[in-house]
């Protein structure tokens, strides 16, 4: 693992067929709700592997299990570049101010048991997609959730 976080991450919008979206409350910032997110562990770590790892680490959901086939994880081919919040900038190399976030969607069966990473998250909740978007502190996370019906109705450009 590098000394500093790599400024390239994934955002995984986890949802059920009835468009309930899973949100997690950050342990380091109570009241800040978000989807699964996390940085690559190595420069050469494929983004899909980052997404699979982060989903498991943060929720206990195992992509590739009988309940969640690997095909359920869809790369939306959407990237956001945003300024890293000053409160978290110390985690990155000096001078790094922006992160590139790659968005994935993951459809899971309703009522999946969630096991939180206690050091990262305090609580979780399932909310209707619009309410989930309203609750997110991150504008890029909210925008991704708002695009969820579009990805379900038209499908992603490619499935990787």
Residue 160 counted as domain residue: no
Q: What is the pLDDT of residues 113-157, one digit of tens each?
A: 999 998 999 999 999 999 999 999 999 999 999 999 988 764 444
Residue 119 counted as domain residue: yes
H or E element that contains 134: helix 129-135
- 99-109 as b/e, with b when 16 or more CB fall inside 10 Å? bebbbbbbbbe
Residue 3 counted as domain residue: no
Backbone angles phi, psi at 135, to 5 degrees: -80, -25
Q: What is the pLDDT of residues 26-74, one digit of tens each?
A: 999 999 999 999 999 999 999 999 999 999 999 999 999 999 999 999 9
Q: Of how many residues is the chain composed?
A: 160
Domain membership of residue 21 as a residue range:
8-154
Residue 159 counted as domain residue: no
Backbone angles phi, psi at 88, to 5 degrees: -110, 0
Q: How far apart are the first and last CA of the chain?
A: 25
Quote the CA–CA distance of 71 and 97 in Å, as a whole number.
34
99: tokens are 């992160």
Residue 42 counted as domain residue: yes
Q: What total of structural domains would you count in the chain?
A: 1
- The domain that holds 127 is classified in CATH as 3.90.79.10
Residue 1 counted as domain residue: no
Residue with tokens 């609580």: 123
Q: What is the pTM of this model?
A: 0.91
């Amino acid at each position: 693992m590098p000394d500093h976080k790599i400024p390239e991450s994934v955002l995984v919008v986890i949802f059920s067929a009835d468009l309930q979206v899973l949100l997690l409350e950050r342990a380091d910032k109570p009241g800040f709700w978000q989807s699964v997110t996390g940085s690559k562990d190595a420069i050469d770590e494929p983004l899909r592997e980052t997404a699979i790892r982060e989903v498991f680490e943060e929720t206990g959901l195992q992509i590739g299990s009988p309940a969640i086939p690997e095909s359920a994880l869809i790369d939306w081919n959407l990237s956001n570049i945003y300024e890293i919040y000053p409160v978290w900038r110390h985690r990155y190399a000096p001078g790094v101010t922006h992160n590139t976030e790659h968005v994935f969607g993951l459809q899971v069966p309703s009522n999946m048991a969630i096991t939180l990473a206690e050091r990262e998250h305090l609580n979780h909740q399932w909310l209707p997609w619009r309410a989930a978007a309203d609750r997110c502190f991150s504008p890029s996370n909210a925008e991704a959730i708002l695009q969820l019906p579009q990805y379900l109705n038209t499908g992603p450009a490619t499935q990787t």
